[in-house]
Structure 1
Amino acid sequence: MAEVQAVKSLDTVKLISHLLDRHYGQQMADIWNVGLNLALRITDLLSIRFSDIQAERLLLKEGKTGKLANIKLNQKTIEIIHRIRVEHPTHFYLFQSYRNQRAGNVPPAPLSRRYVSRAFALIGEDVGIDLGTHSMRKTRGYHLYKSTKDIARVMKMLRHSSEGVTLRYIGITQEDIDKDFVELEI
Structure 2
Amino acid sequence: MAATEPIRDKKQLKELANYFLKKGQLRNYTLVLMGTYTVLRISDLLRLKWSDVYDEERQAFRTHITVTEKKTKKKRTIALNPQLLGALKHCYLHRRGDYIFANNRKEPKAISRVQAWRIIHAAVVELGIMGKIACHSLRKTWGYHAITNGDVSLAVVVDIYNHSSYETTKLYLGIRQDERDEAILKMTLF
The TM-score with structure 1 as length reference comes to 0.87
Aligned residue for 2:18?
18
Aligned residue for 2:184, secondary structure, equals: helix
Separation of aligned partners in 2, 1:79 and 1:18 = 14
Aligned residue for 1:95?
101
Aligned residue for 2:149, secondary structure, equals: helix
Shift of 1:24: 8.6
Give % identity. Answer: 25
1:55-99 per-position Cα deviation (integer Å, ceiling 9, x unaligned): 2111111100011120011111111222222222x6211111121
Aligned residue for 1:69?
76
1:121-169 per-position Cα deviation (integer Å, ceiling 9, x unaligned): 2333322232101110110010111122632121112221121111111
Task: Give the alignment's Cα RMSD to 1 decimal.
Answer: 2.0
Indicate whether 1:109 and 2:109 are aligned: yes
Aligned residue for 1:140?
142
Aligned residue for 2:32?
32
Dislocated runs of 4+, deviation >4 Å: 21-24
Aligned residue for 1:59, secondary structure, equals: strand
Indicate whether 1:119 and 2:119 are aligned: yes
Indicate whether 1:178 and 2:181 are aligned: yes
Shift of 1:17: 1.5
Is there any run of 5+ residues in structure 2 with no aligned partner, and where?
Answer: 56-61
Is there any run of 5+ residues in structure 1 with no aligned partner, and where?
Answer: none
Q: Quick check: 1:21–1:27 contact (8 Å CA) kept in 2?
A: no
Shift of 1:21: 4.3
One-letter amino acid of the counterpart of residue 93, structure 2: V
Separation of aligned partners in 2, 1:127 and 1:95 = 24
Which range moved further: 145-154 or 158-167?
145-154
The TM-score with structure 2 as length reference comes to 0.85
Aligned with 2:87 (options 66, 72, 80): 80
Separation of aligned partners in 2, 1:131 and 1:118 = 11
| Structure 1 or 2: more helix by fraction | 1
Q: Quick check: 2:30–2:84 contact (8 Å CA) kept in 1?
A: no
Aligned residue for 1:43, secondary structure, equals: helix
Shift of 1:23: 6.4
What is the total number of aligned residue pairs between the two structures? 179
Separation of aligned partners in 2, 1:128 and 1:176 = 17
One-letter amino acid of the counterpart of residue 68, structure 1: K
One-letter amino acid of the counterpart of residue 78, structure 2: I
